[in-house]
């Protein structure tokens, strides 16, 4: 009895649609999607910036092989 069945959720959804209307809900969904997209782009830019700052332009990688002393 503690969990809600699918019928309970459908009734709640219908009531929300009656109160707010489908146009308002669509606008809220669009705004929420834009916010999530902006957040993902910000995270992506932040990681790219951190990666470029951690490796200075003047550093060089040297590839060498180890040899045994004879």
Q: Mean pLDDT, 10 residues at a time, over the chain (70 residues)? A: 83 90 88 93 86 65 78
**CB-CB contact of 7 with 15 (8 Å):** no
Angle at CA of residue 51, ends 47 and 55, nearest 5° = 170
What pTM did the predictor assign? 0.48
Domain borders along the chain are 21-49
CA–CA dist 5, 38 (Å, integer): 34
């Amino acid at each position: 009895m503690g969990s809600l069945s699918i019928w309970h959720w459908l009734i709640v959804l219908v009531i929300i649609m009656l109160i707010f209307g489908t146009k308002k809900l669509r606008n809220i969904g669009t705004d929420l999607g834009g916010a999530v997209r902006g957040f993902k782009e910000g995270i992506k830019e932040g990681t790219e910036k951190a990666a470029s700052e951690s490796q200075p332009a003047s550093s060089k990688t040297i590839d060498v092989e180890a040899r045994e002393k004879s």
